[in-house]
């Protein structure tokens, strides 16, 4: 059965998108994301995906749900999923997507407490308090694949190391020199900035490093990320937003897309080197 999509408004700020059929690889499923983006542009603050009519979901469908959640978070809105059938909900739990996206038993229950929602933990060690992010390496890998990267993940109690390669990409990753006036076009639409002396992606728990080949040259389509699971208890995102696991997954997805679509600015220093733009001798110029 092909996927049918219907949209209705509960009120000015709440939109329900009903899905009926197979949320899987295929042309019809690709229409879900534009519907969510359109609802966000029209001012929806809460989007409820009613999946009670979905009898089958595959990895493509799971990726669609994660992408839509990221888009909603980026727009300071909320995405909620309601009415999943047992077989569908079991798969979502196996992939641990239920730890990222709020799920509700029925579309009428969307305003109540969701199931399987992971929150921020603040732990104390002696006199020190810190935030512990319970990050799932499989979800991190899924986010990387959705952005077009081949990913190798090394998990540890205190962090995740992520080696990324943009498979099949001929152009360099869009790490550009923020100080070069020739990169002004990229800088004007940039939302992520790297402290070039440390590799810290500012106001995130992510640090980035260049990867080099055997001759010592930067690999233009590869980088290494380190994601810290332990942060100071005072850590906050822009706008003093607290950092939770669902919010982090959305940040990671947006950052990875910026590396291949809109650009990430490198600000000073020599630890992290630009890969494209006029500040780099190799690669296309603006």
Confidence of residue 68 (pLDDT cuts 50, 70, 90): confident
Q: Given this model, what pLDDT does residue 160 score? A: 96
Confidence of residue 282 (pLDDT cuts 50, 70, 90): very low
**Domain range list for the chain:** 4-109, 135-267
Q: Given this model, what pLDDT does residue 151 score? A: 95
Three-class DSSP category at 122: strand
Contact 170, 271 (CB under 8 A): no
CA dihedral of residues 180, 181, 182, 188 (deg, nearest 10)? 100
Confidence of residue 15 (pLDDT cuts 50, 70, 90): very high
Chosen CATH of 4-109 out of 3.30.750.24, 3.20.20.140, 3.40.50.150, 2.40.160.20: 3.30.750.24
Distances (CA, A) of 210 to 163, 194, 220: 10, 12, 9
Q: pLDDT tens, 240-252?
A: 667 778 788 888 9
Mean of per-residue pLDDT scores for the chain: 83
Q: Given this model, what pLDDT does residue 116 score? A: 43
- Residues found in the chain: 286
Instruction: Please give the sequence-ordered ranges of beta strands (E in DSSP) within the chain, or none if there are none.
Output: 4-9, 14-23, 46-57, 78-82, 103-104, 121-125, 128-132, 149-156, 159-166, 175-177, 193-195, 200-201, 206-212, 218-228, 230-232, 264-267
Confidence of residue 268 (pLDDT cuts 50, 70, 90): confident
Q: Given this model, what pLDDT does residue 51 score? A: 93
Q: Given this model, what pLDDT does residue 125 score? A: 66
The lowest-confidence range among 26-30, 44-48, 111-115, 129-133 is 111-115
173: DSSP letter? P
Phi and psi at 175, nearest 5°, equal -90, 115
Distances (CA, A) of 17 to 47, 222, 256: 7, 37, 27
Q: Given this model, what pLDDT does residue 285 score? A: 35
Residue 114 has pLDDT above 70, yes or no: no
The lowest-confidence range among 24-38, 114-128, 173-187, 266-280 is 114-128
The lowest-confidence range among 73-77, 109-113, 275-279 is 109-113
Across residues 1-28, what is the average pLDDT?
A: 87
Across residues 139-165, what is the average pLDDT?
A: 93
């Amino acid at each position: 059965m092909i996927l049918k999509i219907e949209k209705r408004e509960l009120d000015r700020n709440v939109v329900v998108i009903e899905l009926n059929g197979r949320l899987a690889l295929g042309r019809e499923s690709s229409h879900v994301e534009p519907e969510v983006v359109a609802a966000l542009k029209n001012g929806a603050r809460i989007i409820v995906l009613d999946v009670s009519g979905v009898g089958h979901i595959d990895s493509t469908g799971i990726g669609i749900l994660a992408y839509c959640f990221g888009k909603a978070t980026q727009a300071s809105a909320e995405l909620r999923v309601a009415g999943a059938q047992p077989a569908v909900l079991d798969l979502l739990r196996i992939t641990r997507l239920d730890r990222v996206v709020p799920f509700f038993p029925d579309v009428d229950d969307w305003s109540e407490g969701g199931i399987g929602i992971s929150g921020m933990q603040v732990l104390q060690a002696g006199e020190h308090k810190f935030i512990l992010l319970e990050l799932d390496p499989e979800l991190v890998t899924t986010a990387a694949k959705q952005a077009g990267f081949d990913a190798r993940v090394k998990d540890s109690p205190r962090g995740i190391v992520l080696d990324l390669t943009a498979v099949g990409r001929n152009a360099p990753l869009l790490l550009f020199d923020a100080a070069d006036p020739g990169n002004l076009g990229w800088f004007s639409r940039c939302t992520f900035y790297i402290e070039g002396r440390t590799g810290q992606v500012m106001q995130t728990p992510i640090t980035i490093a260049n990867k080099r080949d055997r001759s010592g040259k930067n690999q233009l389509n590869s980088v290494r990320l380190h994601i810290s699971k332990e942060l100071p208890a005072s850590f906050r995102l822009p706008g003093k937003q607290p950092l939770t696991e669902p919010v982090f997954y959305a940040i990671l997805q947006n950052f990875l897309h910026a590396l291949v679509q809109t650009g990430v600015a490198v600000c000073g220093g020599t630890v992290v080197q630009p890969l494209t733009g006029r500040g780099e001798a190799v690669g296309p110029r603006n």
